[in-house]
Amino acid sequence: MADYIERSLTRGERIIARGAWPGVYWFGAWMALLLLGVFVVGIFWFAYLATKYWTTRWAATDHRVVLKRGWLTRNTAELAVESIEAVSVRQSLMGRLFNYGEIIVTGAGEAAIVFPPTHDPIRFRRAIETARDRALNHPVKVVPASTERTPAKKRRARASA
């Protein structure tokens, strides 16, 4: 079954990078379950993290960046690559050691998307910047629809006159 991002692709659009949760994220969820599970708090914390993990998806396509969150309700944030002004990465010391970090994409105006902790954020940022460069340097030409009538339209126009 296709996920939200695959179902929302337009004709000719393709996914060039998908975000992935860092392994440290699952490690923390399991540690909460094991250490705090006795106190019931760990069970709820694990369920919260697991739900967040399974219901959050993000990707960069050759036309836009997409972040989808939610299970019962859906919240999406999308930004066209042409309108991206900056892509930055925030990594803590632990993030640098375990190769994860947050990616912040800012667009025209006050549009900004803060992606969740992402495994290999430099690769994801590079994919976004590559898509942006391609969109800005090789814009898609829009060809206006022809105003000429086709033979079938001409016959219908004559018949109705």
- pLDDT per position as a tens digit, 43-84: 787 788 888 888 999 999 999 999 999 888 889 999 999 999
Cα-Cα-Cα-Cα dihedral sign, residues 28, 31, 33, 38:
negative
Mean pLDDT of 90-100: 94
Look up residue 64 and give its two tokens: 């836009």
Q: Does this model's pTM top 0.85?
A: no
- pLDDT of 120 above 60: yes
pLDDT for 52 equals 87
Mean pLDDT of 9-36: 83
- pLDDT of 123 above 60: yes
Of 154, 24, 158, give the one whose Cα is nearest residue 97.
Answer: 24
pLDDT for 29 equals 77
- pLDDT of 41 above 90: no
- pLDDT of 146 above 60: no
Mean pLDDT of 122-149: 77
Residue entry with tokens 């929302």: 8
Contacts of 153 (CB under 8 A, 6+ apart): none
Mean pLDDT of 30-44: 74
Of 19, 78, 74, 24, give the one whose Cα is nearest residue 49.
Answer: 24
Q: Are strands 112-114 and 100-107 parallel, antiparallel or unpaired?
A: antiparallel
Query: What percentage of the chain has pLDDT greater than the value 70?
Result: 83
82: DSSP letter: G
- To the question of domain 20-137 being in CATH 2.30.29, the answer is yes
pLDDT for 1 equals 43
